[in-house]
Amino acid sequence: MSARHDSYRGLRETYEEESRHPIEAGTVREIASHPVVSVAQTTPILNVIETMTARGFRRIVVVSPGNMVFRGLVSDIDILRYLGGEGMVLIRKKYKGNLMSALNSPVNRIMRRGIKPLKESTPIDKALEIMMKTKRGGYPIVDSENYVTGIVTLRDVITKLSYNLPDVTINEFMSTDVLTIPSTRTFKHAIESMLKYGFRRLPVVEEERPIGVISSRGIIKFIGGKKIFKISNGWLLSGFLSIPVTEAMHSDYIIATPESNLINVVEDMKRSGWGSVFILGPRERLVGLLTEYDVFKLIYKKISAENE
């Protein structure tokens, strides 16, 4: 069986420092990550992927060469859209299906330009409201001159603002509409599902039981960690898309039951860095997920109610 962390077996822990210093009334800069790792618009996509892999990031800020003026944002999903979505036509026509040539294109080819960054002075509750309405998991933070000074993500929100959560079981908050992928499927199937349904993570199953998880970041890491060069024809788009999901699957994951305590499970997520928890029912069947976004929605609801 895969290596797992049983959230419902651990002892409940409280984070006293966080509880003593609530910061919901502050500005978004107080919960953002600093300093920011950024790349220039001319940086090759492959170099961006390598930076994401080395730093464990899902998204990177794109700035003007020579300064930190915000120009755009590139995420793991943007890269997958290029490799397995609408960008496939371009790669096949312009680069003759050569994946390495396509990845040496500048990142401004795939970055998102229409994102409006948050000002350093934006109140936390307003920042969370914007993230909730747009369903974006990360926003750059800029100063009055549009220089990037930080970035706020779902993980930042959960790490800094998840104190005083309700002492309840997770069955009230978990997602039960779970999209899975069989272990026999390929990168092509995983990327298509992620792009179509908007999920970054897909539980990998055999006979309805989870054996691991394939994620957008896991696929990016497969490229950035040079594993792709160990696969026959992996440097071709067709070869890359035919790689089995088990090659980039993580078999180490957190599990819980619907009756697990919400506070315990969230603390396990924070300690491990995992963005989701498998919720198992009878006979270890997957019955739900608790994701970072589920926890974010709960925090947003709590802070919104306190500010009414």
Residues 169, 146 share a domain: no
Alpha helices in the chain (DSSP H): 16-20, 45-55, 76-84, 87-94, 99-103, 124-134, 154-161, 187-197, 216-224, 237-241, 262-272, 292-306
The one-letter amino acid code at 194 reads M
Residues 176, 149 share a domain: no
pLDDT at 12 > cutoff 70? no
Task: Give the residue with greater pLDDT, 307 vs 11.
Answer: 307
Residues 170, 145 share a domain: no
Report pLDDT for 23.
62
pLDDT at 182 > cutoff 70? yes
Buried b (16+ CB within 10 A) or exposed e, 224-256: beeebeebeebbbbebbbebbbbbbbbeebbbb
pLDDT at 186 > cutoff 60? yes
pLDDT at 252 > cutoff 80? yes
Task: Give the residue with greater pLDDT, 116 vs 229.
Answer: 116
Residues 204, 147 share a domain: no
Supply the Cα-derived Rg of the chain in whole angstroms: 20
Contact predicate 149/29, CB 8 Å: yes
Query: CA 229 to CA 234: how far, in whole Å?
Result: 6
Mean pLDDT of 144-172: 94
Report pLDDT for 9.
39
Residues 130, 38 share a domain: yes
Last residue of a domain, one of 127, 159, 191: 159
pLDDT at 172 > cutoff 60? yes
The one-letter amino acid code at 264 reads N
Contact predicate 272/159, CB 8 Å: no
Report pLDDT for 226.
84
Domain interval for residue 263: 4-16+165-306
Residues 153, 199 share a domain: no
Closest alpha carbon to 187 in 250, 240, 249, 251: 240
Mean pLDDT of 248-271: 95
Dump pLDDT digits (tens) for 200-210: 999 999 988 99
Mean pLDDT of 276-300: 95
Residue 65: pLDDT band (50, 70, 90) is: confident
Query: CA 72 to CA 151: how far, in whole Å?
Result: 12
Task: Give the residue with greater pLDDT, 54 vs 12.
Answer: 54
Residues 226, 117 share a domain: no
Dump pLDDT digits (tens) for 23-49: 666 999 999 999 899 999 999 999 999
Residue 155: pLDDT band (50, 70, 90) is: very high
Q: Which residue has the tokens 């962390």?
A: 5
Domain count, the chain: 2
Helix-helix angle 187-197:216-224, to 10 degrees: 140
pLDDT at 6 > cutoff 80? no
Residues 113, 224 share a domain: no
Report pLDDT for 24.
65
Last residue of a domain, one of 136, 159, 182: 159
The CATH number of whichever domain residue 122 belongs to comes to 3.10.580.10
Residue 7: pLDDT band (50, 70, 90) is: very low
Report pLDDT for 231.
82
Residues 170, 151 share a domain: no
Residues 264, 138 share a domain: no
Dump pLDDT digits (tens) for 80-115: 999 998 899 999 999 999 999 999 999 999 999 999
Residues 100, 202 share a domain: no
Residues 169, 97 share a domain: no
Last residue of a domain, one of 159, 180, 202: 159
Residue 72: pLDDT band (50, 70, 90) is: very high
